Amino acid sequence: MSWLDDDGDDELDDFDESRIRVRPNPKANRPRTKRRPAHSDAEIGRVLGVDRGRYQVLLGEGTPEERMLTAARARELRRTPIVTGDAARVVGDRSGEDGTLGRIIGIVERTSLLRRSADDTDQVERVIVANADQMLVVVAAADPEPRERLVDRYLVAALDAGIRPLLVVTKTDLADPAEFLRHFEGLDLRVFTSARGEMPVEEIGSALVGHSTVFVGHSGVGKSTLVNALVPGAGRATGHVNEVTGRGRHTSSSTVSLRYVSPAGSGWVIDTPGVRSFGLGHVDPQNILAAFTELAAIAEDCPRGCTHRSDAEDCALNEAAADGRLGPAGLARLESLQRLLATFADKL
């Protein structure tokens, strides 16, 4: 599997000071070692954004020494994607003063990873966000028309990554979302509704406290409007954008982390303008099933390799449904599970 870095360009890494090496004495026959100093003085910071090979890293988060640092990636990390949300190990000048440049020598093991592939069969993946624990899916009640399949794909991507999904339906002043929302009744999914002039800023905000929440949604659904309401000063471009050139959307052309602050506490909003959908080529069906705890317990009696789809023979879930053991709520959940499993059925 090949990894691409998020920004897709490496050329600026050529400025990386780690490139300046002391040439080994050609007469010495000691083999060159790839090992480097342990850098026990590395400090861990939060990557807030990436721009042309330069990383914005927050150090000393929540302390009086909190500061923003610009950092480059060490040369040996060329093949390691470093993305928004990563906990980076930084050495070098960490003052954050103008003109200084820190160096990222590694990243802390991620708790979650949101990826996309170019399409479902493309094995080349892009890492989008690291360490998020929630995903807020933004969909409009109208303009653009909501598509349940698209939301399903977001949900699958979130559940596969072990990220808790939340849903907000915007523009409920334009249409009633009740029918659309019925599709998601069988899921453990917190749903917010939002209308012009009636944004549920406090409700959504309280769900953000203590979490790192990645916002996803198709262009035009009102995601930037929502982010700006939640994070004053975020300055995410809203309104008319040229889908092809992306012009007019200058301030939201990359994935960034923004701090949500309220009297109840703080959290991180990770806005992802470039992500219209997720390829699901890498999804593990077990991760989807695991999100349906009580169904996963029943599925332990399934034959090996069971797809759990509605046409699967000897599937313990289908048997439980046929025997009336699931009840109406359980049936709705099984339907939701099977719909999500069908979202990437070609993988099974």
Other Cβ atoms within 10 Å of 231 Cβ, number? 19
d(CA 145, CA 129): 27
d(CA 80, CA 267): 26
List the interface residues with ligand GDP, window 229-258 (CB under 6 A).
238-239
Region near ligand GDP per CB under 6 A, out of 29-37, 144-152, 191-199, 207-215: 191-199
Task: Closer to ligand GDP by CB, 221 or 316: give it.
Answer: 221
Q: Does 225 bind ligand GDP (CB under 6 A)?
A: yes
Region near ligand GDP per CB under 6 A, out of 31-39, 55-63, 214-222, 303-311: 214-222
Task: Closer to Zn ion by CB, 258 or 337: give it.
Answer: 337
Q: Return the ∠ at Cα 233 (arms to 237 and 260), rounded to 5°.
A: 105
What long-range pairs does 95-101 form, CB within 8 A, spacing at least 24? 95/67, 95/69, 96/59, 96/67, 96/68, 96/69, 96/70, 100/69, 100/70, 101/17, 101/70, 101/71, 101/72
The binder of 287, among ligand GDP, Zn ion, none, by C-beta within 5 to 8 A per type, is: none
Burial grade of 233 (CB within 10 A; 0-12, 13-18, 19 or more) = exposed
Q: Does 272 bind ligand GDP (CB under 6 A)?
A: no
Q: How far is the CB of 198 from ligand GDP (least distance, A)?
A: 8
The binder of 112, among Zn ion, ligand GDP, none, by C-beta within 5 to 8 A per type, is: none
The binder of 234, among ligand GDP, Zn ion, none, by C-beta within 5 to 8 A per type, is: none
Q: How far is the CB of 275 from ligand GDP (least distance, A)?
A: 12
Q: Binder to ligand GDP among 102, 217, 281, 330 (CB under 6 A)?
A: 217
What long-range pairs does 238-247 form, CB within 8 A, spacing at least 24? 243/219
Q: Name 170's Cβ contacts closer than 8 Å, sequence gap at least 6.
A: 138, 139, 140, 141, 193, 194, 195, 221, 222, 223, 225, 226
Q: Which DSSP letter does residue 264 get?
A: T
Region near ligand GDP per CB under 6 A, out of 38-46, 75-83, 110-118, 217-225: 217-225
Q: How many residues bind ligand GDP (CB under 6 A)?
A: 17
The binder of 200, among Zn ion, ligand GDP, none, by C-beta within 5 to 8 A per type, is: none
Where residue 48 falls (left for φ over 0; alpha for ψ -120 to 50; beta otherwise) is alpha
Q: How far is the CB of 142 from ligand GDP (least distance, A)?
A: 8
Closest C-alpha among 152, 156, 127 to residue 139: 152
Q: How far is the CB of 143 from ligand GDP (least distance, A)?
A: 7
* Crossing angle of the two packed helices 223-230 and 201-208, in degrees rounded to 10: 80
Region near ligand GDP per CB under 6 A, out of 122-130, 166-174, 200-208, 324-332: 166-174
Q: How far is the CB of 177 from ligand GDP (least distance, A)?
A: 11
The binder of 243, among Zn ion, ligand GDP, none, by C-beta within 5 to 8 A per type, is: none
d(CA 6, CA 82): 7
Task: Give the contact letters, 292-321, x = binds to Zn ion (CB under 5 A), - = no.
Answer: ----------x---x-x------x-x----
Residue 175 contacts residue 254 (beta carbons within 8 Å): no
Q: Binder to ligand GDP among 224, 257, 272, 318 (CB under 6 A)?
A: 224
The residues binding ligand GDP (CB under 6 A) are 170-171, 173-174, 194-196, 217, 219-225, 238-239
